[in-house]
Amino acid sequence: MSISRRTFGIGSTSLMLGTVAAPWIRRAGAEAAPIRIGVINSMSGGLSAYAQEGQPALEYMIKKINDAGGIKSKGGAKIELVLADDTSQPARTAAEARRLITEEKIQLLTGTILSAQMLALTPVLDELKVPTLSVWAGGAASEYMFTLGYPYDRGYAQTMHDFVVSLRDDSKFNIKTAVMGYSNYEAGQQVNKFLTEKLKASGIDIIGEAPLDIRAQDQTSAMIRIRSLKPDVVVGLVTPRDGILLHQARYNLNYHGSIFCGGTGGYTDLSLWKDLGPEIGKAVLTNNLFGMTGFSPGAKIDSMQKIIAELRDVAKLDRIGQGAIQYAQAGRVLQQVLETSASLQSDALLDALKKVNIPFGDPNLYVAKPKGLQFADDRLLKDGSAMFIQWMPDQSQQVVFPKEFAQTAPRART
C-alpha cells in the first residue's frame, strides 16, 4: 500500500468504469470499480491539529470497511481515498477541490473544511455539484455541503449557554458577568453573536469582549484585558492554537480570578498538555476551566468507549481525541451514504446524505448525540449538542455536563 501527498488507495486498483448510471455493475469474476472520495485536510499550517489527529482515524475506518467487503450494495466496491493538503489556506482549499473533482474524478468530497475553508469552497461546489461532507464546519453555505461540525447557534452557542446557566443555577457558581473571549475568525464571530444574545436573555451581564487575533504569536494583551475587567466567566469558541497561547498568557500572568468556559479544541484537545507542558497544564487546565467537546474518554456512552478502545488497541493510533472520533464518525456516515444511495450520481448521493440516520444506541454512533445523528434542512446536525469536561491533574478528563453523560459535578479549583 503506497501513500503520497496526493493519493492514497485502499484495497483496490483502478479499473475502467462500467455503465454511467451504475458503475459498480460488473462482469462475473471482475472486481467492482473503486469509489473515489476526495479528502481535503489541513495537514500543515495553523489549523493542522484537527487533521493530523483525524486523518489516520479516517484511513483506518475506510480500510476496515473495505476489508469487511466494501460497499455491499455496490457490488462490494472498495473506497479509494484521494488526499490533498490545503496547508490551512482557504484559497488552496478551493483550488484543491477543483483539482480533485476535475482531474482525479472523485465522486464525493470530505475533509476538515473548517468555516473559512467552507466559505471558500462554496462557489466550487455550487458550480461542479459534488456532494461534500465537512468534518468540522459550523455552517454549510452550499446546498451540496453537509457538516458534522457543531452549528454556530444550536450547537456551540446553545451548549455553552446551557452550561454557563447550569453552573449558575444548578451548581450555584457565582456568575453574574461575562467577557466574550473567542478566536476572531468566521466561526468564532458567528458563535459569539448567538452566544451573546442567549447569555443576555438569561440575565448574564456582558461587560466586554476579548477577541483573539488568530495571527498573533502571543495572547497576553487579550488576557490583560480580561484581568482588568474581572468577569465571573470568560466564554467563547477558541481554536487549539489560540487556546495554547491563551493558557500560556494566563499562566504567565498568574490569573485565576475568572471561570474559563470554551470550545472546542482550545479547551479540550488532548494535545494541550503536550503543547503547554505539564507545569503550565496543571496550573491552568485544572484551575477554573471547563471545555466543550463531542468526545471524552470518560463519557458514559458504550459505542464511544468501544471505538476509543479499537482506535487505541487495533489501529494503534498515537492520538485519540475529539479529532480522531469525529473522523471515525465521518467514515461511518460516508459508508451509510454509499450503501443507501440509488447510484453514484450526484443527485442520488445528495439524497442519501439528506436521509442519514444513526440513532442513539447504534454501535456506529461515536459522538455524544442523545437524539442521534441526522441532518436538518440546513444540512447541519439536528442535534448540535455537546458535552463539557473538566481536566484532572493526571491529565484525564471528567464529563460534567449534561447530566445523562456526566461522571461528576463541576467544581472550581483555586
pLDDT tens digit string along 337-352?
999 999 999 999 999 9
Q: Once rounded to an integer, what is the mean pLDDT over residues 116-144?
A: 95
Q: Once rounded to an integer, what is the mean pLDDT over residues 95-100?
A: 97
Q: Once rounded to an integer, what is the mean pLDDT over residues 201-217?
A: 96
Cα end-to-end span (Å), the chain: 52
Query: What is the rounded distance in angstroms from the CA atom of residue 190 to the CA atom of residue 395?
Result: 31
Query: What is the rounded distance in angstroms from the CA atom of residue 189 to the CA atom of residue 152?
Result: 9
Query: What is the rounded distance in angstroms from the CA atom of residue 323 to the CA atom of residue 55?
Result: 9
- Whole-model pTM over 0.95: no
CA distances from 223 to 178, 191, 219, 289, 395 (A): 14, 20, 6, 14, 24
User: Above 90 in pLDDT, residue 90?
Assistant: yes
DSSP one-letter code for 72: G
pLDDT tens digit string along 29-56?
568 899 999 999 999 988 888 889 999 9
pLDDT tens digit string along 396-405?
999 999 988 8
Q: What is the mean pLDDT of the chain?
A: 91
pLDDT at position 414: 58
Task: Kindly indicate the confidence band of residue 322, based on its pLDDT and cuts at 50, 70 and 90.
Answer: confident
Least confident of 23-27, 36-40, 124-128, 214-218: 23-27
What nine digits make up the cell of 384? 448540535
pLDDT at position 294: 86
